[in-house]
Each structure stands twice: as C-alpha cells, then as structure tokens.
Amino acid sequence: MARPTQDPQIRINEILDVADQLFFSKGYHAATISDIAKNMGVAQGMLYYYFKSKEDVLEKLLERYAAALVADVKTIYDRDNNATEKIALTLAATLDKACYKNGLLLNMLYDIHNIHIKEKLFNQLELSLKPWLTKIVEDGITAEEFEVFHSSTAAEYILVIVDFLSASIYKKTSDEILSYRIRMAEMLIEKALGAKENSIHIELTG
C-alpha cells in the first residue's frame, strides 16, 4: 500500500471525529470500520493503515478525551481562582466529560468487552490528574484554605470520589439522587481537605 502523503495526525483526527459521531448515533457495537470509511468517503484499507481494529480506534478516541480533560485541568490550575474553587472546577470538568453525549464515553468504558481499556484509561488519568490535584491541594495548604497532612493521599481520595460519581452518571441515576450524591461528595471532600463547610460547590454544565 502506498504511504499516504497527508500529515498522519490530521488523518487520524479525521478518523476519530467520524468514529465519535458514529459511535454516538449507531452505538459502538453496531458501528463498523466499514461505516467509518464510508462516512469519510475513503477505502476501508486506508483506515487499517492507521488503526489495527475498531477497538484500537476506540482506545485512541478515549485517549483523546483524556488528553482534553488534562488540558482543561491545566487551564483551571492557571486561573486566578483560589484552591477551593479550583478543586470544584476540576471535579466539574471531569464529570462534564463523563456526561459527554449523554454518557457515550462512560457507556463505552463500562461495556464488559472494554473493561481492560477502562482500567488502562483510568490508570492513565490517575497518573495525569493526580499531580495537578496535588498541586492545587498544596496551594490550598499554603493559602491556609486546607489542613491536610498528606496532599497526595488527599488527591487520590478525590479521584476515588470522582470515580463513584462517574459510575452514578453511567447508571443513569435520577437527577434528584445524583444531586444528593454530589452534595455528599462535596461534604466528604471538604472533610478530607479540612476546608470550610459549604465551601466546595460542583456545578455541572453537561
């Protein structure tokens, strides 16, 4: 097969964009590599130049979601907000990604056939997000907003709570119950950080 002359990353992003739309409209299992190729107006063999399989497309798509989230968190860290606000904004950004396209991301992640991808992605997210959460916690300690004896452990605890809320979103928990769980999460994080009562408010936009 002749080597494509286009910038590979441009073509990869085009494939992922189309796959994103098809996985949402048809469902991950119903959509095929052939469907992606047809929607792009290219030969199916071209897709196999960049991806080994549909699962490979899914994994790269999820990695792109994760990279976008980490970029959002970096932006939040650079803002002028105080540490308490940054914690809330980071959690909201993470959960908004989970709500993407009516939970498409979580539906794909929690599919029994994709559990190995979920574990890999969550490990990557923990490695990527934990340092930023730890920095925010340490800034809060310096500013005397938080009282934490081990900032890294506090960051890990926050990620566990995010995982719990993500699972609630995946299970289509009612808005009422989800609001209770978010409020409880806020209270638990305040306790874990030694923050003022009612200082953390997670506002979802998705």
Over the stretch 23-61, which tens digit does the pLDDT of each residue have? 888 888 888 999 999 999 999 999 999 999 988 998 888
Report all structural domains of the chain as residue ranges with CATH numbers, in order of start. Answer: 8-50 (1.10.10.60), 54-193 (1.10.357.10)
What is the predicted pLDDT for the residue at 1?
44
Structure token pair of residue 128: 């990527």
Cβ count within 10 A of residue 144 = 9
- The low-confidence residues of the chain, meaning pLDDT below 70, are 1-6, 100-114, 117-118, 121, 206
What is the predicted pLDDT for the residue at 123?
75
Please give the DSSP secondary-structure letter assigned to residue 2: P
Of all residues in the chain, what percent are helix, strand and coil, respectively (each to 5)? 75, 0, 25
Structure token pair of residue 122: 């969550």
Q: Which residues contact 177 (CB under 8 A, 6 or more apart)?
A: 168
d(CA 185, CA 156): 14
Structure token pair of residue 22: 């098809």
